[in-house]
Structure 1
Amino acid sequence: MDYSTIRTQLLVALIAVGVASLAVVAVGPAAAQTDPGAVTVALDTDGAATVSVTYRYDLAGERAGAFEDLQGDATAQETTAQRFADRVRSIAGDVENQTGREMSISDPRAAVSTADGVGTVTVSVTWDGLAAVDGDQIRLAEPFDAGFESNRPLVVDLPDGYTAVETTPEPDSAADGELRWTADQSLTDFAVTAAPESTPTAAGGPGFGAGAAALALVVTLVAVGRSRF
């Protein structure tokens, strides 16, 4: 199966799950999105990632009650999360075959909340092996590199202490370890490579400390010795 097929499956999975999530609570197809939310990939240093899709809807009229019902329905939330996991698991199997990198999908979950007339549904899974690991660098590409397009932004959260050393295409914004690409654009050849941030050596710290202080002492002693002759 080529990446074009994988891309199509991914889009179907991410978008269809949101529709299915809302159908569970009978919000109905007429519900208007006030904010498209985002597709978020939160990377870990071992190549695993938490992949989440967030949907936000205007809860006018009876929709507010529907979302409140879902908030209190653990079974419906579990069903929604499992449906999302099943679709992503199928994609992961195809990407695993393409890359030869072992992958697994676990910990499906759904979170539902309402605030200020807006209902939010977020479905998430843990995707082990999503990013490739090479030494202390991690690289995220598949399956987004096949021209992934979405009507919501793509957000990549880097591990704490990591910085992006290479990105294709350049993100539309980057701050505090969060890279964001706006909605409705093709991400053909997408890739993010991240590595630990360089830590400057502080004076008096381990890098300076014994070695540099000893060298300074030797220079001083030599200078004093020379001054005596």
Structure 2
Amino acid sequence: MNVRVGVTAVVIAVLLVAAGPVATVTGAATAGQRQSSPFAVQQDRIDADEVRMDVALRPNGTAEWTLEFWVRLDDEESTTAFESLRDEIRTDPANHTQSFADRMNETVSTASNATGREMSADGFDVTTARQSLAREYGVVRYTFRWDGFAAVEGDELRAGDAIEGLYLDDGTRLLVEWPDGYERTSVTPDPDDERERAVIWRGGETDFVSGEPRVVATAAGTGPSAAAMAIAAVVVGGLAVAGVRWYRTRESTTAQPAGGDDALDSDSDAGTEPTGGSGTASVSATADESADASATGAPDTELLSNEEQVLRLVEERGGRMKQQAVVEELGWTDAKTSKVVSGLREDEKLESFRLGRENVLSLPDADDERTNETSGDGAK
């Protein structure tokens, strides 16, 4: 059994799928064409049961790549094959990284031409390990450095264009991590899982289209980020509301006659009808404000939490609205909105689903209410 060749073939298959344009260079399937099982190999070779692609971004745009192939060691044949491969790699690792490096350099070169950004790859290495989780696995781990993977624009890192349209098969995941000291600005499409400084997409759950995946992260504390600008807007809005209230209070106070009943009589003589004695103007102003509040039927947004503001918006839209509309309505960043929405989903106060390329938010009982209404109409 040629174990080494089998795993190398798997690695090459991953690279061909990960970089569509390379397919044209190598004579394989054309860009965008998908293989039904790109990680499967012949019976006399090892099949990877799980593939993990981890991309760690650096402030200068370099990405540290880790590509892992996990093989279940659930019988004597697979265990023997993996141990044989492990011995070969330990004896001559360079022999195992050469084909990988050749294919990856082609991938990087094509991505460089497509993005117009200078790129290169180096630092190729391969190691093996055994991992015991719920079951025993053998792991073949390739690592390398991809310079120029992400675009650096001021304080922003923009990553993903080098692997646009990447196809994730079942059992495959992609993790993108941004540097310490950076904040997530936007991620497209919505990730299947999130960590403190990383997002994860899994094959079978996410299908990247043109322009995806995309991750934008901004260096924290280096200038007025989008989040800081949003906070400033809220503060300015709060000051404006306070100013209006002060003005109304001042106007209502000024409108009260200083001469008591005589002044009211004078106003009455002048054609102004008194409505109830001294201080009536102030009471009327307060009544007007109460009427305004009653008319809207909604509390001041300053008194609502972030979660309550989102739920209120969705309720006002009939129980459903696009997540991007929440961003626009509240003036928040994509990152802040996503964080609040994720919390509401965990608390089961909100649900979401994909509609095309949009993320739609829905109240848990929205569909039930519509179903009940439809049933009621039918009964009538």
**TM-score, with structure 2 as normaliser:** 0.44
Give how far 1:92 is off.
0.8
SS at match of 1:37: strand
For residues 11 and 51 of structure 1, what CA distance do their matches in structure 2 show?
Answer: 24
Q: Which residue, 56, 64, 68 being the options, matches 2:79?
A: 64
Question: C-alpha deviations, 1:109-130, integer Å up to 9, x for none?
Answer: 1121113331011112100001
1:6 Cα offset (Å): 4.2
Task: Say if 2:64 is the partner of 1:50.
Answer: yes
Whole-Å separation in 1 of the counterparts to 2:122 and 2:33: 20
The aligned residue for residue 127 of structure 1 is 146
Cα-to-partner distance string for 1:140-179 (whole Å, 9 max, x where unaligned): 022322x211220110011112121011112122222111
Rounded to whole Å, the distance in 2 between the matches of 1:198 and 1:84 is 40
2:203: which partner in 1? 183
Secondary structure of 2:105's counterpart equals helix
Match of 1:5 among 18, 21, 32: 21
Residue by residue over 1:163-199, the C-alpha shift from the partner in whole angstroms, topping out at 9 and shown as x without a partner, is: 2101111212222211101113322212111112349
Shift in Å at residue 52 of structure 1? Answer: 2.1
Q: Is the 8 A contact 1:50 1:127 kept in 2?
A: yes
Percent of aligned positions that are identical: 28
Aligned twin of 1:202: none
SS of the residue corresponding to residue 143 of structure 1 reads helix
Describe the shift of the 1:61–1:141 C-alpha distance in structure 2 as closer, same or farther (beyond 3 A): same
| Contact 1:144 1:187 survives alignment (8 Å) | no
1:8-49 C-alpha deviation (Å, 9 max, x unpaired):
67999xx97x778xx9xxx9446472xx13111111110001
> Do 1:43 and 1:156's aligned partners in 2 also have CA atoms closer than 8 Å?
yes
Shift in CA distance, 95/85, structure 1 to aligned 2, threshold 3 Å: same
Larger helix fraction of residues: 2
Indicate the larger mover: 154-163 or 190-199: 190-199
The counterpart of 1:148, out of the listed 139, 145, 166, is: 166
Could you tell me whether the CA contact under 8 Å between 1:11 and 1:148 is conserved in 2? no
Q: Find the counterpart in structure 2 of residue 192 from structure 1.
A: 215
Query: Which residue matches 1:97?
Result: 113
- Check whether the contact 2:52–2:68 (CA below 8 A) recurs between aligned residues: yes
1:165 and 1:178 map into 2 onto residues whose CA distance is: 12
Residue 162 of structure 1 is matched in structure 2 by 182
The structure whose RCO (Cα within 8 Å, separation 6+) is larger is 1
- Once the two structures are TM-superposed, the CA of residue 90 in structure 1 deviates from its matched residue by 0.3
Question: Counterparts of 2:104 and 2:94 in 1: how far apart (Å)?
Answer: 15
CA positional deviation for 1:85? 1.8
Contact 2:40 2:48 in 1 (8 A): no
- Which range is displaced more, 68-77 or 164-173? 68-77
Give, as a single letter, the amino acid of the residue that structure 1 aligns with 2:123: D
Structure 1, unaligned runs of 5 or more:
200-229
Q: Which runs of 5+ in 2 are unaligned?
A: 1-18, 24-29, 223-380
Q: Which amino acid aligns with 2:182?
A: Y
- The answer to whether the Cα contact below 8 Å between 1:67 and 1:114 also exists between their aligned partners in 2 is no
Alpha carbon RMSD of aligned pairs, Å? Answer: 2.9
8 Å contact 1:70–1:77 — kept in the other structure?
Answer: no
Tell me: CA distance 1:10–1:138, structure 2 relative to 1, closer, same or farther (3 Å).
farther
2:40, 2:47 within 8 Å by CA — same for their partners in 1?
no
> What is the CA-CA distance between 1:4 and the residue it aligns to?
4.6
Paired amino acid for 2:177: D
State how far apart, in whole Å, the 1-side matches of 2:83 and 2:62 are: 33
Q: Equivalents in 1 of 2:110, 2:32: separation in Å?
A: 11
Distance across 1 between alignment mates of 2:91 and 2:65: 21
Q: Would you tell me which structure has more strand in proportion to its own residues?
A: 1
Aligned residue identity for 1:91: T
SS in 1 for 2:176: strand
State how far apart, in whole Å, the 2-side matches of 1:174 and 1:90 are.
31
Contact preservation (8 Å) 2:115, 2:162:
no
Look up the match of 2:156. 137
Pair 103,172 (structure 1): closer, same or farther in 2 beyond 3 Å? same
